[in-house]
Amino acid sequence: MKRVLFASIALAFGANAMAQTCASPLPIQSNSAVSGDTCTASNTLPGYGGIPSPQTEIIYSFVAQSANATISLAHTGAPFGATMFVMPSPCSSSTDPIALGDFTTPMPVNGLTNGATYYVIITGDPGGPADACGPFTATVTGILPVELQSFSVD
Amino acid sequence: MSRKFNALLGLGALAFASSAFAQCPSSPVPPWSSQSVLGGTVAIVAGGYDGTSCRMASTITGNIGGASAFVRDNTPASEPRYRAQFLINLDTLTGQNTIQSVKVFGASTDAPFGGQSEVVRLTVVGNVAGTAKTLGVFTVCEGQPSNLCSASAPLTAGTNRIEIDWQKGPTGSLRVWVNNTNEGAPTATLNGNSNSWGGVDFATLGLAAGSAAFRAAQLNRAVGFDEFDSRRQTFIGN
């Protein structure tokens, strides 16, 4: 049983470490926080439309339902110019982001199309050094997808 | 809008008037091969950036996808090495932030590979606060995500001098100088395999591929260009 448990934990951490691309984005939810380290990620998107991005990035996704939130970004280690974007589908190097923020400017997330998938990309400052990376926490205040809190049949 | 020109090694120096007192022409064509002004305008106006008489003003005027305001030079012919330089002044783009991106220069091949035909693409974006501007640099890199490599370089207020040197090959490169005339110390260098692409067949200068955020915020603001020069071999410098 212990072996099974340890194996499950290892798989879970392994999946998180790998799931940082457009094809396998990580989830991000309403009124929650996510943490990561872009130094452990890859540079799978060399740009976002006309924005250069030689820095590594971590990609989250959500399906919008009445999205009305703000995402705040904080360095949890040495500051590296953490920057974030919201990109509509498709997640690709040729898609222009529609919202942005950084460690000093929270990012508003609203006006989205219900049912559409959006991507939150956390990376280094596109105008900064190509090797800039570090740990961060992104805190969502408000609604991204509408979450089912409870359901009962009387 | 005059330009020094090495006739032996040069590809094209696209000048309009060599005299500081000359009248500006009514159209950029010729000497440019053509212009694209879908939802935009390109005009030759008085006031060059290097003591000359005229410059090009490129303006996106319509908030429509694909809006463009650029000129095209068809002088290159499958060039395996391509150098170009131009001056650009972006001071009218006030408050431009990072998602307000716009292309300002491209060098393309008629023999694309991996979905990419633009072997060099230069863009301009702002910072998050909209208080500083950055040159986005893209070039083809086989085997990299999207077959692209990217870099950035800071721009200054006022007029910026931008020069590129693209070399095709298995160990190809793109070097970029921004307000920098030291050939041995480029501002940015990207190395990658570009051997599967053809050489440069045409170049474009002006505004294109503006993001929706750019079009929403920067309509009817003219960006100035001047002193375009392109060559095969020699550094252009100052």
Question: Cβ–Cβ of B101/A93 closer than 8 Å?
Answer: no
- Please check the confidence at residue B16 and state whether its pLDDT lies above 60: no
The answer as to whether B5 is a domain residue is: no
Helix (H) or strand (E) holding A11: helix A2-18
B2 falls within a domain: no
Q: Out of A52, A93, A99, name the one closest to residue B151 (CB).
A: A52
Average pLDDT over residues A148-152: 68
The domain spans of chain A are 2-143
pLDDT, tens digit, 9 for 90 and up, residues A74-110? 999 999 999 999 999 999 999 999 999 999 999 999 9
Residue of A nearest to B149 (CA): A46
Domain A2-143 top-level CATH class: mainly beta
What does pLDDT average to over chain B? 92
Q: Answer yes or no: is B120 within a domain.
A: yes
Q: Which residues in chain B touch residue A101, judged by CB atoms under 8 angstroms apart?
A: 128
Predicted complex: ipTM over 0.95: no
CB contacts of B211 in chain A (<8 Å) are 49-50, 96-97
Residue B98 maps to which CATH number?
2.60.120.200
Which pLDDT score, from 0 to 100, does residue B18 have?
41
| Residue in the block written with tokens 């863009």 | B123
Task: Give A2's contacts (C-beta < 8 A, 6+ positions apart).
Answer: none
- The Cα B139–Cα B174 span in angstroms is 7
Return the pLDDT at A8: 36
What is the domain range of residue B57?
Answer: 10-231
Tokens of A137: 């926490």
Q: 3-state SS string over B44-107?
A: EEECCCCCCCEEEEEEECCCCCCCCEEEEECCCCCECEEEEEEEEECCCCCCCCCCCCEEEEEE
Cβ neighbours, 10 Å, residue A107: 22
Provide, rounded to the nearest whole percent, the portion of chain B with pLDDT above 70. 91
Chain A and chain B share a number of CB contacts under 8 A equal to: 97
Q: In chain A, what residues touch B63 (CB-CB under 8 Å)?
A: none
Q: Domains in chain B: how many in total?
A: 1
Length of chain A: 154
**3-class secondary structure, B214:** helix
- Across the range B5-14, mean pLDDT stands at 44
Cβ–Cβ below 8 Å for B129 and A130: no
Contacts of A24 in chain B (CB under 8 A): none
Nearest to A98 among B103, B137, B213 (CB): B213
**How sure is the predictor about A55, in pLDDT bands with cuts at 50, 70 and 90?**
very high
Residue B1 maps to a domain = no
Residue B79 lies in a domain: yes
Model pLDDT for residues B124-178, shown as the tens digit of each residue: 999 999 999 999 999 999 999 999 999 999 999 999 999 999 999 999 999 999 9
CB–CB contact A50 B102 (8 Å): yes
Q: Which residues contact A44 (CB under 8 A, 6 or more apart)?
A: A20, A21, A22, A57, A59, B145
